[in-house]
Amino acid sequence: MDTVVVQSGGIGWEVLVSKKTSRALSMQKARVKLYTFLRFKQEGVFELYGFGTQAEKELFELLISVDKIGPKTALNILSAGSPDKIQSAIKLGKVDFLTRVVGLTDRTAERLIVELSRKIKTSAKHSETFDIDIDVQGALLSLGFTKGQIRKAVDKLDPDTTDFQSRVKQALKVLTGR
């Protein structure tokens, strides 16, 4: 979880964002648009959360609706991948993917899956590429790339490409800058 400062009317607002959103914002040179969520903690104290896309904000709101999932844990979950990938993991019951996220135990991941799997709609395409992407990540890891590099590359892959070899080739092009 990271923070950014948003200037509005001469006032700087500290906004909590996922690591993924923070990386995306750091690459922007011009004005950016953040979708925000305001949470009142107690009288006079509030937290402002920011998201790069409406889909990310909607997933955040779904995540915090689950018992024992707070906003900071939800941001950590959002840092694990694209909203489509996270939704696919929930829909497919991928406890192992969710437990790799900081702060999620097996029990919490299972609760998340049970409570949200009916509320989440994912396309069949995202569901079938989820397992392939796990294999792609394993192949790239064996080639010596870091988990962070691999995660960024896999997030940039064309969702219309669904076979293993093509996804590995695309990921290698992203990783090598070709």
Locate the domains of the chain by residue range. Answer: 2-116, 124-176
Are the CB atoms for 90 and 112 separated by under 8 Å?
yes
The pLDDT score that the predictor gives to residue 63 is 94
Q: What is the mean pLDDT of each run of 10 residues along the chain (178 residues)?
A: 84 89 80 88 87 92 92 90 85 84 83 89 62 83 86 80 86 86
Give every CB contact of residue 119 below 8 A, 6+ residues apart in sequence.
62
Q: Which fold has domain 2-116?
A: DNA polymerase; domain 1 (1.10.150)
CA separation for the pair 126, 83 (Å, rounded): 11
The pLDDT score that the predictor gives to residue 67 is 87
Give every CB contact of residue 22 below 8 A, 6+ residues apart in sequence.
2, 4
pTM of the complete model: 0.74
CA separation for the pair 79, 98 (Å, rounded): 11
The pLDDT score that the predictor gives to residue 161 is 79
